[in-house]
Structure formats: structure tokens, C-alpha cells
Amino acid sequence: MSDALLFFVCLAAALCIRQFIGCAAVVKGRSMLSTLHPRDVMLAVRPPLLYRHIRRGDIVLCRYPGRYWRNLRFVPQTFVKRVVGLPGETIEIADGVVLIDGEPLSEPYLDPAHCRFRRSMPPRTLDTDEYFVMGDNRDNSNDSRSVGALKRSAIRARVAKVLFRLPSRKRKKRR
């Protein structure tokens, strides 16, 4: 087998794995503090291999409709969020407390230092293919509270494991 053919076979295999099985992703923002930190590298599993329905509490990679990278207007941005509301449920936020079908949601993963958010949101019933996602850092998260519920097709993968954290880059001081 020639080197060129071997290269293209490996490239095709890598693209198939990324598209249909899973991928590695890097956390870029602070919206999931203190669960995930900037520069955490995660293993994410694609929907066909989830082997189960998406559950409340799952951390997912999702895309918001109409959100693209600033310099690459054709490449959608991917966000990391936690699934809070499931299809058919009624979700409401009262003084910062998430209510599902009128009952307070237990959220042991939240850090009080990142949850001073106290605004309310009127009740909204999710459609049969909609999910409500939120960042764990409620004070600093662009999520379903502002962009609305996500269709199932907008959820790209489920985070299976945090692999490691990339070292921080030292910035050179300008003189």
C-alpha cells in the first residue's frame, strides 16, 4: 500500500470516528464552573452511540441556532451545557430556583459562589423534541434562559469524561 493511499485511509477513518463515534473537545469559557474549567479536555460521545436517551444532568455539546464563529461565519459554535429540562416538562425559574413541573430541581453540582443569579422565568412547557440546557455558572452563562430550548438535533454529543486539563499559556509582557 502506498503512503498516499495509507494517509487517505487513515484520514477517512479519523473523520468517520469523529462524525459517528465521538471526539475530544476543549472547554473554552467559564459557563460550566466549577464542574468544568477552561482548557479541560473532554471525551464526547456522538448521539448514535449514546446507548440511551439524554437524561437530566447530562453535560452535552450543543449548537445554538444562528451562532457562528466571528471570523468563520460558516462554522457553528459549539457550547458545553448541562441538560436541566426534558421533553414534555414544564420548566420555570423562581428567584433563581429551577422548578420542573412545579417541583424544585435538586442541583448538587452547583457551586454557591457561581449561583447568585436570582432572576425568574415564567413557566414554559417543552415540546416533544426540546431540551432546556443551562451552564453550572448561572451568573455567567449564555444558555436556554436567553436562547430558548434546544431541539434534539442541536445536541451534538454527550460528555463522557474529562480527560485532562491543558496547561495554561503564559503571556509575555509587552514593554
> Looking at the annotation, which residues are catalytic?
31, 81
**Strand (E) or helix (H) holding 145:** helix 144-147
Quote the CA–CA distance of 171 and 40 in Å, as a whole number.
19
3-class SS letters over 15-51: HHHHHHCEEEEECCCCCCCCCCCCCEEEEEECHHHCC
Query: Do 24 and 14 meet the contact criterion of CB atoms below 8 Å apart?
Result: no
Handedness of CA 141, 146, 147, 153 (dihedral sign): positive
